[in-house]
């Protein structure tokens, strides 16, 4: 099963992908997490991606496609969270999967309005070490400022400042939203009201994946 999570930043893709990956025992591939790790380690990719990420713009397709080629599991299912984000990336994904005789099973669209995104991202806290995600109001850690899972410090992502969040939302509308039509045309798209609770959304996704559509 190869599932793509599509939706604006802050729509809850990472939260659901982490849950689902545990529940179904399939891999979770987040290009955002991989890029942040590359920036932290100061790799060549990290150096090239850093400024785009800080500005809230997309990292060039060629870098992202090479990254995905490197990490994509050859066996077993996986969830793609935050990739593809442009039509050229979606086409590259199709080519890559074809090479292994595979295809995208389903694309789940997380629908939320801009103000919900701003509210969620302004309160998002991310673990500086393991990448776990919390929210000051909607999913607070047990101890303030400390990760429940690994005990490290929780921080606000630089690109979660309101001005950058609004730019990221605009970038989503302009460059990523065309993928809605792209996947609708292939009969793969399932839209979800992503303003619901984490549990409700999780339940819906499990239903959709179980009954094949």
User: 75-97 b/e with 16+ CB inside 10 Å = b?
Assistant: eebbbbbbbbbbeebbebbeeee
The 8 Å CB, 24+ separation contacts for 34-41 are 34/67, 34/71, 35/59, 35/67, 36/131, 37/131
Of 18, 36, 85, 106, the active-site residue reads 85
104 near ligand AMP, judged by CB under 6 A: no
Q: From the CB of 9, what's the least distance to ligand AMP, in Å?
A: 4
Judged by CB, which is closer to ligand AMP: 178, or 213?
178
206 near ligand ADP, judged by CB under 6 A: no
Among 124, 159, 179, 205, the residue binding ligand ADP under the rule CB under 6 A is 124
Among 133, 190, 206, 208, the residue binding ligand ADP under the rule CB under 6 A is 133
182 near ligand AMP, judged by CB under 6 A: no
Judged by CB, which is closer to ligand AMP: 71, or 203?
71
Q: Are 153 and 145 in contact (CB under 8 A)?
A: yes
Which of positions 136-165 make contact with ligand ADP (CB under 6 A)? 138-139
The 8 Å CB, 24+ separation contacts for 92-98 are 92/61, 92/65, 92/68, 93/68, 96/65, 96/68, 96/69, 96/72, 97/2
Chain residues that interact with ligand AMP, rule: CB under 6 A: 9, 31-32, 35, 52-53, 56-59, 64, 82-83, 85, 89, 159, 168
| Active centre residues (catalytic) | 13, 85, 124, 157, 168
């Amino acid at each position: 099963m190869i599932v793509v999570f599509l939706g604006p930043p802050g729509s809850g893709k990472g939260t659901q992908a982490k849950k689902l990956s545990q529940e179904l025992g399939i891999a979770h591939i987040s290009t955002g997490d991989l890029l942040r790790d590359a920036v932290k380690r100061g790799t060549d990719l990290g150096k090239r991606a850093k400024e785009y990420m800080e500005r809230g713009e997309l990292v060039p397709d060629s870098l992202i496609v090479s990254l995905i080629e490197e990490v994509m599991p050859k066996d077993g299912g996986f969830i793609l969270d935050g990739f593809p984000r442009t039509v050229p990336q979606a086409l590259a994904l199709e080519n890559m999967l074809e090479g292994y005789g595979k295809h995208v099973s389903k694309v789940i669209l997380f629908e939320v309005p801009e103000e919900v995104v701003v509210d969620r991202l302004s309160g998002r806290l991310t673990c500086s070490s393991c990448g776990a995600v919390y929210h000051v109001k909607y999913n607070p850690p047990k101890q303030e400022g400390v990760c429940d899972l690994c005990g490290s410090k929780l921080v606000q992502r630089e690109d979660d400042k309101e001005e950058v969040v609004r730019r990221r939302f605009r970038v989503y509308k302009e460059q990523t939203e065309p993928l809605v039509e792209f996947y609708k045309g292939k009969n793969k798209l399932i839209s979800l009201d992503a303003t619901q609770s984490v549990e409700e959304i999780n339940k819906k996704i499990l239903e959709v994946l179980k009954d094949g559509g």
